[in-house]
Amino acid sequence: MHSAFDPHSPQARAVAHLWWSMFAVGGVIWIAVIVAMLIAIARRGDVDFGGRKRGLTIFVAGTGIVLATFLAYDFAVGHDLAKRGAPTLTIGVTGHQWWWEIEYEDLRPSQRMVTANEIHVPTGQLIEFKLRAADVIHSFWAPNLNGKRDLIPGYASSQWFQADTPGVYRGQCAEFCGLQHAKMAFLVVAQTPTDYLAWRTASAAPHTPPADSIAATGLKVFLSSGCPLCHTIAGTDARGTVGPSLSHLASRQTLAAGTLLNTRANLMGWIVNPQALKPGVHMPAIPLKPAELNAVVTYLETLK
């Protein structure tokens, strides 16, 4: 689901109403212009300079009135979107080339939770997003829930929305930010407050060492490779912050910021040769033997 024409929040409905109003008025004006053109063609031998002058005056005045009206309407919608009450949840979103870092800032420091590319929110509650860029200009856009908001390096901005109904809403970077701009998506998972609380409780818990022997071997291989230099897994010695957090990786629906479905085969391919799937991505290929790759993926699949 990825459409500004299917709003699921008061903020997105305000934007959609503005667009449909502009479309309807623009359509009427287009039809009027075509009709006037056809009349002018039909009467090309009947020159009435006085009538033409009056018609031109009416069209110019009408154009000014329409533009002024929509300017006022646009400012009114922007003013309403800037209004907000006290948010029940604050989420930090940082744009990287080419993925999204998500931090749940409302949690206590001991429960600080950082994830990537997938944002869970409770329905019926106002959510504040604190938007930042780590490298270049990005743009945060979940069209079903609100309009676009740019993320500019060195500057923090905010956006708010309130999801009305449970569902999964696709978002996208809407500002060209480099080679893989088109593959910089994210998902907003709107859940009932009860389901959201259950998800948050499970996601804030650190992982326990795997009991399965293959998964345990995979953890050892993971920690002895270059992976911990870039990635974090809560409850382990992997504490890198260069790349996305892998805590609860197996619970996410996609890999590589919406590039791939989160399947075992795709995860293997991503580890072995990410450049083949997302050219220019900053993640290097990890040279693992087949048995090591199988063990690492088996371990990563336990991170739910």
User: pLDDT tens across 245-266, in order?
Assistant: 999 999 999 999 999 999 999 9
Is 167 in the same domain as 182? yes
- Backbone phi, psi, residue 190, to 5°: -90, 125
How many domains in the chain?
A: 3
* pLDDT-above-70 percentage for the chain: 93
The pTM score is: 0.85
Lookup: tokens for 144: 């079903």
ω into 270 cis (within 30 of 0):
no
**Whole-number Å distance between alpha carbons of 156 and 55:** 50
Instruction: Indicate the DSSP class of residue 235.
Output: T
In this structure, the answer to whether residues 101 and 175 fall within a common structural domain is yes
Q: Closest by alpha carbon to 132, among 91, 167, 86?
A: 91
pLDDT at 12 over 90: no
Sign of the dihedral through C-alpha 227, 231, 234, 236: positive
The token duo for 16 is 């959609």
The CA distance from 89 to 108, in Å, is: 12
Domain encompassing residue 185: 89-204
Alpha helices in the chain (DSSP H): 10-42, 49-82, 193-204, 213-224, 264-272, 274-277, 290-300
Q: Does residue 27 form part of some domain?
A: yes
Q: Is-contact 250 237, C-beta < 8 A?
A: no
Tokens of 253: 């629906």
Alpha-carbon distance of 4 to 59, in angstroms, equals 32
Regarding whether 227 and 127 lie in a shared domain, the answer is no
User: Strand pairing partners for 171?
Assistant: 186
What is the band of 226 on the pLDDT scale with cuts at 50, 70, 90?
confident
Do 65 and 104 fall within a single domain? no
pLDDT at 118: 95
What's 97's DSSP letter?
T
CATH number assigned to the domain comprising residue 187:
2.60.40.420
- 5 falls within a domain: no
Quick one: which H or E segment has residue 129?
Answer: strand 127-133
User: Which structure tokens are listed for 18?
Assistant: 């503005």
Q: Considering 171, 204, 237, which residue would you say is the last residue of a domain?
A: 204
Does residue 260 lie within any of the structural domains?
Answer: yes
Angle at 188 between CA 274 and CA 244, to 5 degrees: 35
Same domain, 243 and 271: yes
Q: Confidence class of residue 52 from pLDDT cuts 50, 70 and 90?
A: low
Q: Please, what is the average pLDDT of the chain?
A: 87
Confidence of residue 205 (pLDDT cuts 50, 70, 90): confident
Closest by Cα among 190, 171, 168, 164 to 131: 171
User: pLDDT for 90-115, tens place per residue?
Assistant: 899 999 999 999 998 765 555 678 89
In a domain, 152, yes or no: yes
- Which of 159, 196, 166 minimizes the C-alpha distance to 81? 159
